[in-house]
Structure 1
Amino acid sequence: MSDHHRGAWTLHRRDDGGLLADLVVTGGDLPWLNARVDPREGLAEVRPLFAEELRLLDGIDEDVESWERAYDAVRNAVTLRYPEGQEVPEFLLHIDGNEAWWRRSDEPFDQEDA
């Protein structure tokens, strides 16, 4: 495993960089990683954004625009950082209770499809 898969990734508030949670990797099936969420003060404020995103993900085939708006709200609220501390340029992160799973990229996902 590379260093990116060791240690805790961290979730931060986008506006002030405050730590919201440690994401302790428990496994995964690349490109997805799975983690335990160790919440910090402030995570409760963004949990509704993740809950709404997951709710709309279930119906993404019927309404992709609503899911995209919900995920944009998540991305506008939080940043994800590697265990080494640098910010992840692009990521798709889901949080459900004390479980998180995500995939990440060093390039915007839209460019992968081009």
Structure 2
Amino acid sequence: MGFEGEVWRVCSGVEPVGEILIDDADFPWLSGRFTPGEAYAAVQALFDRELALSERDDDWAMWEEAYDEIRRRVSLSSPQGPVPEFLLHIQGDRAWFRWSDEPFEEQ
């Protein structure tokens, strides 16, 4: 699929949260080396909390609330431009995500 070597960008408004250099494509998931940007410190705790909650099986509502805050605070862009929907995890110098070219349907 040709994703390896691409650089995807994570932003908070116009501020750079970081870049992801794709080194593994297991579609629909892409993963790569995460290089933090200036705005990462402001959202790092959100990603830490989201990951911790995703490892629990007892309260998915709390995870959804945590992830909704991430979605409000950051955007994800492919080399071709912003993607409307994504599920992004960042831990240390690694990031992995999946995305959609179309908005998800509300349930």
CA drift at 1:18: 1.4
Q: 1:110 Cα deviation (Å)?
A: 3.5
Check conservation: 1:21, 1:43, Cα contact below 8 A.
yes
TM-score by length of 1: 0.85
Partner residue, 1:43? 40
Structure 1 residue runs of 4+, over 6 Å off? none
Give how far 1:42 is off: 1.6
SS at match of 2:72: helix
Q: Say which structure is richer in helix.
A: 1
Specify the SS of the correspondent of 1:109. coil
Which residue does the alignment assign to 2:91? 96
Which position in structure 1 is the counterpart of 2:67? 71
How far has the Cα of 1:108 moved from its partner? 2.9
Q: Does 1:52 align with 2:40?
A: no
> Aligned partner of 2:100: which letter?
S
SS where residue 82 of structure 2 aligns? coil
Identity %: 41
3-state SS, counterpart of residue 66 of structure 2 = helix
Task: Tell me whether 1:19 sits opposite 2:19 in the alignment.
Answer: no
Question: Please, which runs of 5 or more residues in structure 1 have no aligned partner?
Answer: none
- Indicate which of 28, 33, 48 corresponds to 2:25: 28
> Take 1:49 and 1:38, find their aligned partners in 2: how far apart are those partners?
17
Which segments of 5 or more consecutive residues in structure 2 lack a partner in the other structure?
none
TM-score with structure 2 setting the length:
0.91
Q: What is the alpha-carbon root mean square deviation over aligned residues?
A: 1.7
* Whole-angstrom CA distance in 2 between matches of 1:34 and 1:109: 21
1:7-42 deviations in whole A, cap 9, x for unaligned? Answer: 2000000xx321111110010311000110011112
* Alpha-carbon spacing, 1:53–1:74, altered in 2? closer, same or farther (3 Å): same
SS class of match (2:102):
coil
